[in-house]
Structure formats: structure tokens, C-alpha cells
Amino acid sequence: MAKKEISLGVNIDHAATLRQVRGNTTSYPDLLSLVKKIKSGGGRQITIHLREDRRHIQDADVINLCKKSPLPINLEMAVSREMMTIALKNKPAWVCFVPEKREELTTEGGLNVVKVFSEIREMTDILSKKKIRTSYFIEPSLEQVEASAAAGADAIEFHTGHWVLSKGAAKKKIWKQMVAAAELAAERNLRVHAGHGLDYEHCKFIRKLPHLVEVNIGHSIICYSLELGIAKATKEIIRHLK
């Protein structure tokens, strides 16, 4: 049986970071314009993370993109009432619950679903009733997969950052954990997504993960786009996923 095509979601947070470096005093880069180019390059979804500190994506971006984007929006957000209210108002196609710390440079690990189980289960139920699908950004842990299924998630997204940065035996160990977690997720009727730190090299390997249907990639695509343009960078990542 042929493996399902892996869908690419492009995270544009770092494009917004470039704008915010000037204190939001510039209208460039135009995120909606980038989204249209990403679509032309074969991207299937746009991922944005509205952080508590608003360091890159702003509330106005969420409103504008949810209303005008030609691609579905995957809104990454913390497990908080403030963020849930924003999601319910703007109705992205997906909400991806992620951990968040003010001092971190970027998301450093997966969400501990067990720790926030009652809150995330309630929020997932509320979002589901409004036809907003949910994914949880987790480490490749069997315990976290089980908790995600019990809380009612539609999908889990494996945090691949530690795998990307590790080498040798440690890399092989994490890969085995991802494979086992992906198999369990499929048994629990959860979609399998992955993201964080993925570049050309790691896309060639992540495509071998069982049951993988979606990856979300931001930093590398934005970096590659400085040379190629974002449409070509999107196409090139897709080529490595095939």
C-alpha cells in the first residue's frame, strides 16, 4: 500500500519576527503576500504561534490571516483561556496546543499533557464543538500519546527538535521512540504530525516515520527563502519529503 503524501505546513513566525525587530513600524514583510507565495510553492497550511509576549505574530495577524488566507490556518497557542477565546473568535482550521515560557528563544520541548489534562480536555471539547480541530505538540512518549487520545485530540505533533540536534546512538534511540509513539497514535486514531528544527537533511528521514501525514516547518524555510524566495524554498522542502 502506497504511503500517504506528507502535507507541508509552513510556519511564518520568523517572517513576523523580522517585522517586529523594527517595533512593528514597517508593513513588510507582508505575511498575507508570503502565504500566497507559499501556496504557489505547494504548501498546504500556514502555522502561526500567538505567544503571550507577542514577540512575533500579533493579534491583528491572527484576525487578518484567519479571514483572508487562501490556506488553512494552524494556530499554535498555550493552554490558556485568553488564547482559547482568541481561537473561538477567529476560527482557525486547527489549534495546536504548545508549551510556552517567556524566556525561551523558541519552543524547547513538548507539552506535558498529563500535567494539564483537565484544562486541555475541557478546551479541546469546547473547540471541537465549534468545528476547530486540535493537535498537541508533544515529545514522542507513549504516556503523552495515551493522554492526548484520552483528552480528545485529533492529532499529535511530535517535537523533533531533540532528534534533529542529537547524534549517533542518541539519535537512533529517539527515532525508535518516535516510531513506537507513532504506531500507538495510529492505534488510538490520532493523526501523526511532526515539526521543529526540520531541514532538507532531516526531511529525507522524517518521511520514513510510520503514519506521518503532516510536518510543520518554519525556521529552515524562512532561512532558505533568503536565497531562493519562499515559493522555491517551499517546493524544495516538499521535494525532500517525497
Provide the angle, in degrees to the nearest 10, between the axes of the packed helices 230-241 and 31-40: 40
The SS3 of residue 138 is strand
The yes-or-no answer on residue 159 being catalytic is: no
Q: Which three cell numbers stand for residue 131?
A: 468545528
The SS3 of residue 204 is helix
**8-state DSSP, 4:** P
The yes-or-no answer on residue 139 being catalytic is: no
* Annotated catalytic residue, options 159, 162, 193, 196: 196
Count the alpha carbons within 13 Å of 107 in the hemisphere toward its beta carbon: 34
* Rounded Cα–Cα distance for residues 110 and 100 (Å): 10
Per the document, the length of the chain is 242
The yes-or-no answer on residue 76 being catalytic is: yes
Residue of 158, 161, 173 whose CA lies nearest to 213: 158
User: Quick check: 10 and 45 in contact, CB under 8 A?
Assistant: yes
196 φ/ψ sector (left φ>0, alpha ψ -120 to 50, else beta): left
* Annotated catalytic residue, options 49, 56, 159, 193: 49
C-alpha pair distances (Å), 175 with each of 6, 182, 204, 217, 240: 18, 10, 13, 18, 18
* Annotated catalytic residue, options 56, 76, 193, 214: 76
- The residues assigned a catalytic role are 49, 76, 196
